[in-house]
A and B are shown apart, each in its own frame.
Chain A
Amino acid sequence: MVAIKLWNFLKGYVIIKIEGLSIEKFLNLIMVNDVYIWDIERRNYTTIVAKVSIKGFKETVFLAKKTNCRVSVISKRGLPFVISRLKRRKALVLGAAISLILIYAFSTFIWEINIETVNNVNEKVVLEKLSYLGLKPGVSKFAIDVNKIETEFLLQNNDISWIGINIKGTNAFVKVVGKTKPQEVLSKDEPCNIIAKKDGIIYKMTVLEGEAVKKVGDTVKAGDIIVTGIIEKPGLGTRFVHADGQIIGRTWYEVYADAELKKEVFERTNNKITVTKIIFGNNTITISPKKVDFKNFEKEEKEIISKNFPVRIIKEVYYETKPKTIVLSKEEAKNIAFEKALKELEKVLGSQSKIVNKKESYVIIQDKILRANITAEVLEEIGMKEKISYIGGEH
């Protein structure tokens, strides 16, 4: 059915009204003469409305005269008529053609570069370097060689381990992975001391090389030497060694987190208004279904067309919000604050640390805020190697 309709549209047809007394005779004549006529609808006793092909129209008029019927055209449909109408409106056709060409032309450029980085790579720097290599907004897609840019970029930047450029439509998606620098390790034959990274009490010591200055149970302050690499023995002279070992210390951490007992939050209601803004240079056209008359609202902005395009379209959605006071019981607030404080603690601690003991206490400040304090006792590595820089100074 759709195929037939499409075919009829392409060939063009005329909707005609036939008036007369001998309609049936006329229909039979049409049939015999092989005129393509369809969708015949009887309006009343003397009239029918039907569709007839352009080719058959002339014959229809001739046959209607033969049977004393009158034919009048109601409307002309189909592609041939559309074309003849467009022939009279050349400017419109030209405009459509130009706009199509422009759409195609602009779609062959790159308008936006999205950069995603891993391992502390500065996006701005990457953007700058890419634009130096030729990948920047406004450059033609045909003018850039992605593989070449990738290899060039890797050759020029030693701190990048991988770069991937993906061009989708008018966007370039760039993914950059930076190199993680290995920790600087003192070479084995370099004399060094082990000093304390932070304050604490030595809990366990495993000395592989060097001479321990402190012993288990001693309190150390950050910077104190725990294992020395300078070994002095009477009669043998002074030796410098590479002190090595593991020092586990008992350290303390104190963290706190707050939870509000009484909180005012804004909740979204079901009302929202979508506003479309078209920005052309300094001119802004705002299309809004109605005035935004919410007392409190949240705004969400979405840019539909990229920044590098001369015309910007911004869609703003205003959500109506209502204030709502939430009162937490002491227990609930305690839980929340405690959880928060724990998270805080995890942030501070290194991955190898082990919490041995923790104490929590709660304070209420001004009837509004409940503060949870956590004091945690942690076992962790507190030793750090430090190069001996005063070789030969004393002796």
Chain B
Amino acid sequence: MKDEIKNELVNAIDFPKEVLLNLPKITLIGKTHVTIENHKGIIEYIPERIRINTTIGVVRILGKNMIVNSIMTEIITISGEIMNIEMMV
């Protein structure tokens, strides 16, 4: 009920959803760069697989030779050959 009201409100005022609802924002540039904003930490990191915790569940990225370019409290940047992005709720 509370979430529904919140959702309606967000739709009404047309504000970035990820900010108001504290959702992760995943941006994929081509197949070489991924940035994940609003994350909650790294669960696993090996060159073929990266799992990142977010508010809505775990994001799993599969690929080859992946490198974590930077990690900060708000944003993680990953580069490499990305093949698969999965949400595991």
Contacts and interface: CB of A to CB of B under 8 A. Distances in A.
Interface stretch (B1-9, B23-31, B41-49, B54-62): B41-49
B27 to A, nearest CB: 16
Nearest to A30: B71
Nearest to A4: B70
A30 B71 CA distance: 9
Interface stretch (A21-29, A181-189, A213-221, A251-259): A21-29
Interface of B is mostly: strand
Majority-rule SS of A interface residues: mixed
B85 interface: no
A28 B47 contact: no
A34 B70 CA distance: 11
A266 B43 CA distance: 77
Interface in B30-89: 41-47, 67-73
Interface residues of A, number: 17
A65 B47 CA distance: 24
A97 interface: no
A31 interface: yes
B73 A31 contact: yes
Q: Which of B42, B43, B44 has the most CB of A within 10 A?
A: B42
A31 B41 contact: yes
The 4 closest A-B CB pairs, nearest first, are A40-B68, A28-B41, A38-B70, A31-B71
26 contacts: A23-B45, A24-B42, A24-B43, A27-B68, A27-B71, A28-B41, A28-B42, A31-B42, A31-B72, A31-B73, A32-B73, A34-B73, A36-B72, A37-B70, A37-B71, A38-B69, A38-B71, A39-B70, A40-B45, A40-B67, A40-B68, A41-B67, A41-B68, A42-B45, A42-B46, A42-B47
Interface of A: 23-24, 27-28, 30-32, 34, 36-42, 45, 48
